[in-house]
């Protein structure tokens, strides 16, 4: 499905990114495997991670090239795009997957930990997408797939930085879809459920947490690839501006914010009438303080 196409996958040295890079190559794409070789927390880990994935792709008969440029810096992101153009002559798709975690409860979160996560996830997605946008505009085609998270779309403890970044990515994707539709460019998000470097940090302090982790281990990263490949395919049936969730063998379309209830008062509102009338009238539609595990209560299918 991706024959003769060139695809960039960021954060492709392991986990979901690696699975997407390998599967894209198996689908016929020439792949730029981007990874700077850091751990989940952003520290130096395996500086040869991208090369190892390239070797795996080439051993299977595919074509790939490594990039160790950082998505967090605009100039470095531009070099990722240049790597694709110089190695393969064009660019057709980008998967923005790179990320780090610096989890802590909000009242303990430092500016540095908030900033560093946004720099990689949100700014990284912007930097790479912005660098690719001109190429896509000129050729009149292209597709972005951005990784968001149900932690942001629904909620989670101790992840204000990650949630802010991933919710920002959903909005960024929608903006790209709207602004670049006229040029034949599509942009979508996937919130993946899969056992990876990101989810390997889940706590296992209680029997319930251990059971949750075991369920996650059933959801291998390769399950994300069919949807991502279809969204990069250039097929007219592929949508734009959507948010999907992949959970093992399930693909779900996620809702986007829309009005669910309104109240009106012809003479206008005071703070007292808001408390007496407006808020009670809407209370049945208020969203509870749920986390992802409260919404996805069934076992992976």
Residues 6 or more apart from 68 whose CB is under 8 A from it?
34, 35, 36, 37, 47, 50
Q: Are 167 and 153 in contact (CB under 8 A)?
A: yes
Q: Are 31 and 25 in contact (CB under 8 A)?
A: yes
Q: Are 143 and 231 in contact (CB under 8 A)?
A: yes
Q: Are 116 and 160 in contact (CB under 8 A)?
A: no
Helices (H) and strands (E) in the chain, counts: 12, 8
Catalytic residue among 111, 123, 162, 287: 162
CA distance 271 to 281: 15
162 is catalytic: yes
The SS3 call for residue 6 is strand
User: How buried is residue 92: exposed, middle or buried, by Cβ count under 10 Å (0-12/13-18/19+)?
Assistant: buried
Active-site annotation, residues: 162
């Amino acid at each position: 499905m991706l024959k003769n196409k060139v695809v960039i996958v960021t954060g492709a040295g392991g986990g979901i990114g690696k699975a997407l890079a390998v599967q894209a190559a198996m689908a016929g794409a020439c792949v730029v495997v981007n990874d700077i070789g850091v751990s989940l927390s952003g520290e130096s880990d395996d500086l040869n991670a991208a090369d190892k994935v390239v070797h795996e792709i080439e051993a299977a008969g595919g074509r790939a090239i490594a990039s160790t440029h950082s998505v967090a810096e605009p100039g470095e992101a531009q070099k990722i795009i240049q790597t694709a153009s110089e190695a393969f002559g064009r660019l057709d798709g980008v998967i923005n997957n790179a990320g780090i975690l610096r989890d802590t409860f909000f009242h303990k979160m430092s500016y540095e930990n908030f900033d560093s996560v946004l720099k990689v996830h949100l700014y990284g997605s912007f930097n790479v997408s912005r660098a690719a946008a001109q190429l896509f505009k000129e050729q009149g085609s292209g597709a972005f797939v951005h990784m968001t998270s149900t932690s942001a779309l629904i909620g989670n403890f101790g992840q204000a930085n990650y949630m802010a970044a991933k919710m920002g990515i959903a909005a960024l994707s929608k903006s790209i879809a709207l602004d670049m539709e006229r040029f034949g460019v599509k942009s979508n998000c996937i919130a993946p459920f899969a056992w990876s470097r990101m989810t390997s940090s889940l706590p296992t302090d209680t029997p319930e947490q251990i059971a949750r982790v075991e369920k996650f281990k059933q959801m291998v990263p390769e399950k994300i690839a069919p949807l991502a490949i279809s969204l990069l395919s250039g097929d007219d049936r592929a949508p734009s501006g959507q948010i999907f969730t992949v959970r093992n063998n399930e693909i779900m379309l996620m809702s986007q914010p829309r009005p669910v209830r309104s109240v009106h008062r012809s003479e206008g509102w005071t703070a007292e009438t808001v408390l007496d009338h407006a808020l009670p009238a809407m209370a049945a539609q208020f969203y509870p303080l749920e986390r992802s595990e409260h919404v996805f209560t069934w076992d992976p299918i």
